[in-house]
Structure 1
């Protein structure tokens, strides 16, 4: 018969052994390949950022980082896969602006909380929204654009990659701030929207810079304003919305790293350090520049606060528009 003292001692030793094993497992992180889930098909901006970060992280961590494309349901499938994964650092999400639209659009459908089900690590890159027009709208400044839109309320059109997309929200936030009314033309992806914009089938688009940069540089589309606090170094002659008279309008599209909630702090810290190294690397800046993006490194609590603010803003906009996609 074991004495209570001996039994307590054995339990204490077992507890210490378990803690030591857990600590060793975390110290050894990563001991196997890491899965980086992306909610978009291969070849798009989010996928390109994911692969660039994955290659960089693999060299730093000494383990492969495998990009797993899980498109569908406006990125819900990808987010769901990561939210339900073990919080051990081996399943991560390369999220984008769409992530903060999910609660506003699909509150009755999703099985996770877009903020609390995740441990926000860092944003890695950012692409400003830019207002572009095609040949059907011969204006060259934002004030001229506003005059043309106000002259025909509800008749001028704007293209987006789809209902509930970041472009849709950015456009309607602009309408609310500027007091304008335009007709929404949703497409199934950015490529066809840009094609029809160049062809004159639609008048304008509030697009991420990366999706229209080649067309702007070639003169096929005209950029009127960028929705960021400062001018983009990629389009230094294009003013901000603030400079052009629309105050308080900002619509940067971010790309960032998230882990499942409950991921050990030391693993999050290591991923944070690697994210910072990636964002500061000259090769990263060069790669992102070609995509119409800039490196960004907002981490931890600051990144979480950014996501929280975007979720609240999207929820407010969706409520005002009575927009639900459940």
Structure 2
């Protein structure tokens, strides 16, 4: 009788644990067993969309179910990202995020329609990219020290373009100004393509952009590269020094791209998705494709991505505060 009673109690406890921990039964059911939607908070095209589609393909191959890209552009990424935050936490809606995800808390504050920390479960940091600082050839400088000296000698005479207030290139320019102690003029545009056109035409004197975006213009002599962000030189531009080598280590803007889920998704689902992506990014075909596009593959754990997000949010909140930057 005692043995039967202990068995009965154990069975009841197991049932209660399963009810209280849906992730356990969910994982045992074999996630995923139907189509998973990956929300990309941009229109089709562009770096985040391209990486999102690569991630969807990798997860589909690894997990055996369709992963469908769902583009939800607008609102400075907040429309698509909010759709992720408010989706059922069952693992069948995931979201791509990039550096804007970490910039928006400091830029928008209480106007942000979700809590970047509390409403999401980080899944995997997929990749990062290096920014390169370039000038138009009409600017009479050949290295970062000369650029800083010229900017100090003539405050606000050097202008730079970006895809808009609060964009990564805008804040990279602001970070440069703060670290170097110079005053430069920011010119916001409605898209990155127009920035490059005006930079090539000399309407603005310098800009930040990812290395793949500008490498051909640099090699053709249409733009002059002064420094790249990151811990090492860019493979495409081995002759260009890093900001660390050039004496401004505080200029460390590195666009990032990652995957998140709604808060409350079972940990077993987050781990399974993360492991599938990590394997492809670290050793699989996705690593080769990312490198070919000019990105630096990462493939982090959820905890590593969560820590990176905390660092990025704190950094950009401080840059925005010191620069007194207000959203458009």
TM-score (norm 2): 0.90
Cα contact 1:51–1:67 (8 A) shared by 2: yes
Question: What is the CA-CA distance between 1:87 and the residue it aligns to?
Answer: 1.3
Unaligned runs of 5+ in 1: none
Name the counterpart of 1:154: 156
Question: What is the CA-CA distance between 1:97 and the residue it aligns to?
Answer: 0.4
Name the counterpart of 2:98: 96
Question: What is the CA-CA distance between 1:297 and the residue it aligns to?
Answer: 2.1
Indicate yes or no: 2:258 matched with 1:256: yes
Indicate yes or no: 2:23 matched with 1:25: no
**SS in structure 1 at match of 2:110:** coil
Indicate yes or no: 2:328 matched with 1:301: no
Cα contact 2:94–2:262 (8 A) shared by 1: yes
Question: What is the CA-CA distance between 1:11 and the residue it aligns to?
Answer: 8.0
Cα contact 2:271–2:302 (8 A) shared by 1: no
Cα contact 2:23–2:266 (8 A) shared by 1: no
Question: What is the CA-CA distance between 1:151 and the residue it aligns to?
Answer: 2.4
Question: What is the CA-CA distance between 1:104 and the residue it aligns to?
Answer: 0.8
Indicate yes or no: 2:122 matched with 1:81: no
Cα contact 1:135–1:199 (8 A) shared by 2: no
Name the counterpart of 2:134: 132
Cα contact 2:23–2:267 (8 A) shared by 1: no
- Relative to structure 1, the CA distance from residue 282 to residue 225 in structure 2 (aligned partners, 3 Å threshold; closer, same or farther) is farther
Give, in whole Å, the separation in 2 of the partners of 1:282 and 1:22: 28
Cα contact 1:45–1:291 (8 A) shared by 2: no
TM-score (norm 1): 0.91
Cα contact 1:127–1:210 (8 A) shared by 2: no
Cα contact 1:79–1:93 (8 A) shared by 2: yes
> What are the Cα deviations for residues 57-94 of structure 1, in whole angstroms up to 9, with x where unaligned?
10111111111111111111111111111111111111
Name the counterpart of 2:176: 174
Aligned length: 320
Cα contact 1:158–1:203 (8 A) shared by 2: yes
Name the counterpart of 1:188: 190
Unaligned runs of 5+ in 2: none
- Relative to structure 1, the CA distance from residue 172 to residue 70 in structure 2 (aligned partners, 3 Å threshold; closer, same or farther) is same
> What are the Cα deviations for residues 108-161 of structure 1, in whole angstroms up to 9, with x where unaligned?
212311122111111111101110112332422111211222222111001111
Question: What is the CA-CA distance between 1:43 and the residue it aligns to?
Answer: 1.2
Q: How does 1:227-246 map to 2 (within 5 A)?
A: 227-246=229-248
Cα contact 1:162–1:189 (8 A) shared by 2: yes
Give, in whole Å, the separation in 1 of the partners of 2:21 and 2:313: 39
Give, in whole Å, the separation in 1 of the partners of 2:222 and 2:101: 31
